Structure formats: C-alpha cells, structure tokens
C-alpha cells in the first residue's frame, strides 16, 4: 500500500494549493481589517483636530474673560477710605458740605480703587 511518487506529488500539490488558498484568505481578511481601522483612525484624527480647535477657542475666551474680571474689594475699600478721609474735613466746614465731601471722597476712592486693579 505504498503510495507512488506520482500520488505523493498530487498530494503535495493539493496541500500547496490549500496552503496558498489559506494564505490568500488571511491576506484578504487583513486587508479588510486594515481598511476598517483606517476609517477609525481618520475619525480619531478628525476628532483630535476638532478638539484642538475647540481648546484654542476656549483659551481665547478665557483670556477675554480674564481681561473683564475685576474685584469689588479695592473699589469698596477706596470708597470707604475716601469717605472717612474727606468726611471730617467737610464736617468742619459745614454739615451740608460734610455730606458732599463724604460722598465725593467715596466716589474718588472708588474710582481710585477701580484704576488700581486695572
């Protein structure tokens, strides 16, 4: 029951054909996977670009918001100090002038506090 050399060659050819077919199937599957992943990579790149633009816009908006930000503490402190310092001077002159000096000192102090923080 020995196989002849011819039968061995036929079996080898059949095995080779099957191996080549398997290799072809593997290559086709790899190509399909790479194609699918390429779409995913493109989506990731697009999302990264959009994120970068959004972050840059957000940074610019934060810079604008920072320029608008100011505290009321220096303004209120300046108004109180201005009122305290000019109020007694006005009281020495007259009661009506005292209230006007206090109000004027408060306004000047508040304006000074506003200018200090800018």
Averaged over 46-69, what is the pLDDT?
86
The distance from CA 91 to its chain's CA centroid, rounded to whole angstroms, is 56
Give this prediction's pTM: 0.41
- pLDDT given for residue 66 in this prediction: 76
- pLDDT given for residue 21 in this prediction: 95
The C-alpha atoms of residue 111 and residue 68 are separated, in whole angstroms, by 17
Is 97 within 8 Å of 90 (Cβ atoms)? yes
- pLDDT given for residue 104 in this prediction: 74
pLDDT band of residue 81 (cuts 50, 70, 90) is confident
The C-alpha atoms of residue 116 and residue 97 are separated, in whole angstroms, by 28
- Which residue would you say has higher pLDDT here, 86 or 35? 35
């Amino acid at each position: 029951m020995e196989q002849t050399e011819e039968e061995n060659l036929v079996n080898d050819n059949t095995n080779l054909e099957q191996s080549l077919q398997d290799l072809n199937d593997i290559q086709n599957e790899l190509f399909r996977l790479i194609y699918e992943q390429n779409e995913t990579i493109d989506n990731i790149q697009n999302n990264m670009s959009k994120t970068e633009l959004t972050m840059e816009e957000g940074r610019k908006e934060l810079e604008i918001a920072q320029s608008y930000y100011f505290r009321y503490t220096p303004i209120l402190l300046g108004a109180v100090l201005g009122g305290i310092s000019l109020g007694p001077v006005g009281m020495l002159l007259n009661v009506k002038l005292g209230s006007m000096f206090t109000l004027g000192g408060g306004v000047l102090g508040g304006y000074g506090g506003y200018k200090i923080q800018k």
